[in-house]
Structure 1
Amino acid sequence: MDLSSPTLGAIRRTTAVDTVRARIALAVELGMLGPGQRLPAPEDTAVAFDVSAMTVRRAYRALSEEGVLVRRRGNAGGTFIADAPPRGGAADTSTVAAYREDADRVHALIDQRAALEAGLASVAAATRSDADLERLTELTERMRTASDWAGYRSADTAFHERLVAAAGLPAASELHHRISHELYAYFIPYRIDYLRSSNEEHAQLIAALTARDAGAASRLAFDHVADLHGSMYVGLGTH
């Protein structure tokens, strides 16, 4: 995804490295990443953030120099949140300010995605195949057993893409893809237990699709996405 796109609001002014730094710094500030917590390998974070692994490595290095992260060698090594990261981390940087400046845009994208996904889920209740249900169930299991936010996010993205594809409306699916990926640029890392709690909603949605209950599928899809108003960084209080 091209983060320089003018459709992305204030964060278009930031580099890819700085956006990764800002998203991790926000997660630390909001308590989603705690002291001593291990970060995913750069390759996994790159997939979750839709950037290159080199970009993530550079961001990890910069955050280490700022004292937000520490890098340890050996079999149990990796990149970890510092035991006592500086208060606010990089939260005073212009990049984090850009994320906060885009709060209204984030809420608008959530509304757009919720309305569109609700409609597509309703259609998918009638058009879904057994293969769709099997794939959605497989992805739900992947989320249940994911070891970190990067693995969860990748499976979650695939789940929602398969859900809307099951409606059999390519043009609407493409619009959903565009809106979702604009929104994904604003996602920050979360504690895995925090993410897993929302996976129950995926299971409920699969049950509605299995029963071909269009009304329930629509309501569940809308509520699941609309919950982002409170669970994304724009809805979380600071410590």
Structure 2
Amino acid sequence: MNILILGYGKMGKIITRIAEERGHQIVAKINIENVADLEKLDTSQIDVAIEFSQPDAAVGNMEWCLKKGVPVVVGTTGWLDQKEQVSALCRLNNGTLFHASNFSIGVNIFFKVNAYLARMMQDQKGYRASIEEIHHTEKKDAPSGTAISLAEGLIESNANYKKWELQEGKPVAENTLAVSSKRIDPAPGTHIVRYRSEIDDITIQHEAHSREGFALGAVKVAEWLPGKKGILSMNDFLDF
């Protein structure tokens, strides 16, 4: 496959290495320094783009791909307040947009465990749920996209919580799920869902040991994506 890399930071470099090890060709590596080179590319020679940039660049990159007919795999988070306009553009252009807050297979299994536990805990009134995430200091958005996905999954599965809120040293309302963020180097990513009561705690946790799992997942999705249309997610890829 011919792959366009959008965002050439730490994740972009790992994705490039893994893609090349799997026999793919990298058409170009675009970042803030050479973004003008996008208009010089021959899109007929691009099978798929993989977008791991920054929140302030991601929407523009996605819009370029969708207007040019390039299927795009997006791992950048922190732009979801503009998700509806990007989704509308995808539908308008009959495009292909695959977004995931986390491409790790383990994390996506963790999402399912989180939702299952949330359903089980709905009638256990003595417990109070919370989510904590820990990432490296270079991560721009807080809470992480993975933490938001966990929060949304818990709220969808447990009627005791109506919304989530970033906890910044103050208590949240009873029907609000508290989410806390910590930035500590060199942590690639830890997510903890906790149900606390006066009697005991129930905790589930996912801890990434490196960025390799995220990058490999993104490349595998890119290999799977050509020929598919619409707005897709890890549920489609993993057939959960």
Fold-level similarity (TM above 0.5): no
Q: Tell me which protein shows more strand as a share of its residues.
A: 2
TM-score in terms of structure 1 length: 0.28
Q: Which has the higher contact order (CA 8 A, sep 6+)?
A: 1
